[in-house]
Amino acid sequence: MGSARKSYYQALKQISKTANSSLTLRKTFNATAKNIILATQGDGCRIAILNSQKKYLITIGAHGLSDRYLKKGPLYAFERSPAASPDEIVFIPDTSRDDRIQHPLIAQEQRITSILGIPILREGKLIGEIRVYTHKFHQFSGKDKEFLLTVANMSATILEREELLQTFREKKTLKKKQPEATQGQLTYTTSLKPTEFAHPSEEEFARLLDFFRIEWLYEPQSFPLKQEGERVIEMFTPDFYLPDLNLYIELTTLKQNLMTEKHHKLRQLKKLYPEINIKLINKNDYTMLLSKYGFASPDEASLQSVSRMLFSHSQIQRRVTSLAKQISRDYAGQQLVLVGILKGVICFISDLMQHLSLPVTLEFMSVSYFKGDEGTVEVTKALDNSIAGKNVLMVEDIIDTGMTLHYVLGQLAAQKPASLRVCTLLDKRVRRLANIPLDYIGFEIPDEFVIGYGLDHKGKYRNLPFIGVLKHQNTL
Q: Rounded to whole angstroms, how far apart are CA atoms 455 and 449? A: 10
Q: Rounded to whole angstroms, how far apart are CA atoms 453 and 461? A: 8
Q: How many independent structural domains does the chain possess?
A: 3
pLDDT in the model for residue 287: 67
Q: Are residues 319 and 265 in the same domain?
A: no
pLDDT in the model for residue 413: 94
Q: Are residues 152 and 7 in the same domain?
A: yes
pLDDT in the model for residue 84: 54
Adjacency order of strands within the sheet including 450-451: 303-311, 467-472, 450-451
Q: Are residues 133 and 208 in the same domain?
A: no
Helix 283-292 to helix 200-211 angle, to the nearest 10 degrees? 40
Output the CA–CA distances (angstroms, integers) from residue 294 to 176, 288, 382, 434, in the order listed: 20, 10, 22, 19
Structural domain contains residue 191: no
Structural domain contains residue 320: yes
Q: What is the pLDDT along the chain (476 residues), one digit of tens a residue?
A: 456 666 888 999 999 999 888 888 889 999 999 999 999 999 999 999 987 667 788 888 999 998 888 888 888 888 776 555 657 899 999 998 888 888 888 888 889 999 999 999 988 888 899 999 999 998 899 999 999 999 999 999 998 888 777 666 655 554 544 444 333 333 323 345 556 787 888 888 888 887 777 788 888 888 888 888 777 788 888 999 888 788 899 988 666 656 777 888 888 989 999 998 998 887 777 766 666 655 544 344 334 567 788 888 888 999 999 999 999 999 999 999 999 999 899 999 999 999 999 999 999 999 887 666 556 778 889 999 999 999 999 999 999 888 889 999 999 999 999 999 999 999 999 888 888 899 999 999 988 889 899 998 878 888 888 898 887 644 33
Note the Cα 205 to chain centre separation in Å: 8
Q: Which helix (H) or strand (E) holds 88?
A: none
- The beta strands (E) that lie in 262-331 are given as 278-281, 303-311
Q: Are residues 392 and 251 in the same domain?
A: no
- Tell me the residue type at 360: V
Q: Rounded to whole angstroms, how far apart are CA atoms 174 and 184? A: 11
Q: Are residues 218 and 329 in the same domain?
A: no
Q: Which helix (H) or strand (E) holds 338?
A: strand 336-341
Q: Output phi, psi for 256, to 5 deg.
A: -60, -35
Q: Give the CB-side neighbour count of residue 69, counting CA atoms within 13 A.
A: 20
Structural domain contains residue 292: no
Q: Are residues 233 and 116 in the same domain?
A: no
Q: Rounded to whole angstroms, how far apart are CA atoms 417 and 176? A: 44
Q: Are residues 249 and 117 in the same domain?
A: no
Q: Are residues 156 and 7 in the same domain?
A: yes
Q: What does DSSP assign to residue 382?
A: -
The parent domain of residue 404 ranges over 307-472
Structural domain contains residue 378: yes
Structural domain contains residue 76: yes
What CATH number should be reported for the domain holding residue 205? 3.40.960
User: CB of 440 within 8 A of CB of 275?
Assistant: no
What CATH number should be reported for the domain holding residue 380? 3.40.50.2020
Of 123, 144, 165, the residue that ends a domain is 165
What CATH number should be reported for the domain holding residue 130? 3.30.450.40
Rounded to two decimals, the pTM is 0.65
Q: Are residues 343 and 265 in the same domain?
A: no
Long-range contacts of 198-204 (CB under 8 A, 24+ apart): 199/251, 199/253, 201/251, 201/253, 201/286, 202/239, 202/240, 202/251, 204/290, 204/295, 204/372
Q: Are residues 312 and 430 in the same domain?
A: yes
pLDDT in the model for residue 51: 78
CB within 8 A of 108, min separation 6: which ones? 95, 96
pLDDT in the model for residue 180: 40
Structural domain contains residue 296: no
Q: Give the CB-side neighbour count of residue 81, counting CA atoms within 13 A.
A: 7
Of 150, 165, 180, the residue that ends a domain is 165
Q: Are residues 253 and 351 in the same domain?
A: no
pLDDT in the model for residue 1: 40
Structural domain contains residue 345: yes
User: CB of 312 within 8 A of CB of 361?
Assistant: no
Catalytic residue positions? 400
Structural domain contains residue 288: no
- Tell me the residue type at 244: D
Q: Are residues 463 and 340 in the same domain?
A: yes
